[in-house]
Amino acid sequence: MKIIIKSGLLLSVFALSISLSSPAQEKTFVIKGTVEGGDGNTVTLFNVDNSKKEDAAVIRNDQFELKGKATGLSVFAVSLKDSGFPIFVVSNGEDTTIINTSVKTYPQANVTGNAQTMAMQEYQKEFDPLVALAKKINSESSTLDENDSVAVASLQKQAEAFNRQMVNTGIAFIQYHPEAVASVFVLMNEMHTMQPQELLTLYNTLTDNVKNTRYGKITQTNIQLMAATAVGADAPGFTMNNTKGEPVSLSSFRGKYVLVDFWASWCTYCRAENPNVVKAFNQFKNKNFTVLGVSLDNSREGWLTAIRQDDLPWTQVSDLQGWSNAAALLYHVYSIPANFLIGPQGKIIAKNLRGPELEDELAKVLK
């Protein structure tokens, strides 16, 4: 039921993959403009590929100028201190982008630049209202009385409507911008509820020029990775230590229905979902069902404390590597909570089940 919008979440995926690319010639570009009311503030230019700081400037007389180096077609983020989301710019080098904005409206801005940059601005404008809506729903969710069934049902409907709006907005953007690298960012950042085959169908509507960029190639690879853990696929095997330091293999659960539940002690939304998983576990544990918790914690103490506090009775494993958790990478998990329901034969039969959805699915398969 919880909704988290992490626009730009998968930029880290792009960075990991792009860092392996062969070097190409660097070309200098310029970003300049005005930030009304920004005197004394710092504006910083980051390379999205590797999160490297390219340049920074203190705004004087509401004006700034930044310089960076592009290696082929590259995406950059222009960040104003304490202003949240950045402004994204696309450059091949040897060009100039002009940004006119204000401290009050940032990252909304009047931008003049190449066609790819302008499409990236359209991406931000299209999704800004949805980001605001997600924040509103998140806020309501954080104060929700879980025992108020009417309020829970109402928020659930809002969440479902929001997900539909996200997908419809994304599909429309991609259809109108098949030549824009922004479309692959929409595809991977905003379309989380779509299945891999649906994403691939949308990807194939893009022009060859976009698909042949490094971002396009990485997106295709990511979709293929997602397909490896789609419903109907064989669940990838892994082995990880439990709370006693003993290795536990997913294959040891073969013959059972097992929910592989990705969570972390520091994840507020995971902790809020844990009572629902406990309820489902207690209801179906005697019907050939169990749970295997996979924690994305770095702290062993925090992990063990959360298990005790939330009274989680099932097997728990972790390599204490946070977002670099080996199983999470294998299952292409980039936001939590996330879960995969695996059948007795080792195939994924459902994923990302929340609250009543988990109970309903278990009731259906465990007749």
**Residues 220-249: tens digit of each pLDDT:** 988 888 888 888 999 999 999 999 999 999
Structure tokens at 340: 């995969």
The whole-angstrom separation of Cα 197 and Cα 105 is 38
| pLDDT confidence bin for 216, thresholds 50/70/90 | very high
Structure tokens at 6: 């992490």
Predicted local distance difference test score (pLDDT) of residue 24: 63
Report the chain's mean pLDDT, rounded to a whole number. Answer: 88
0.85 surpassed by pTM: no
Highest mean pLDDT among 42-56, 139-153, 287-301: 287-301
The whole-angstrom separation of Cα 124 and Cα 180 is 13
SS3 at position 90? strand
Among 304, 311, 338, which Cα is nearest to 323's?
Answer: 338
Q: Which alpha helices (H) appear in the chain, and where do they start and end?
A: 11-18, 115-142, 149-176, 182-189, 196-203, 208-211, 214-227, 268-284, 300-310, 326-330, 356-365
Predicted local distance difference test score (pLDDT) of residue 13: 39
End-to-end Cα, the chain, rounded Å: 26
Predicted local distance difference test score (pLDDT) of residue 7: 36
Structural domains of the chain, with CATH: 11-112 (2.60.40), 122-227 (no CATH), 239-365 (3.40.30.10)
Examine the pLDDT at 3 and tell me if it is beyond 70.
Answer: no
Q: Are 349 and 234 in contact (CB under 8 A)?
A: no
Predicted local distance difference test score (pLDDT) of residue 128: 84
- 195-213: per-residue pLDDT in tens? 888 999 999 999 999 999 9
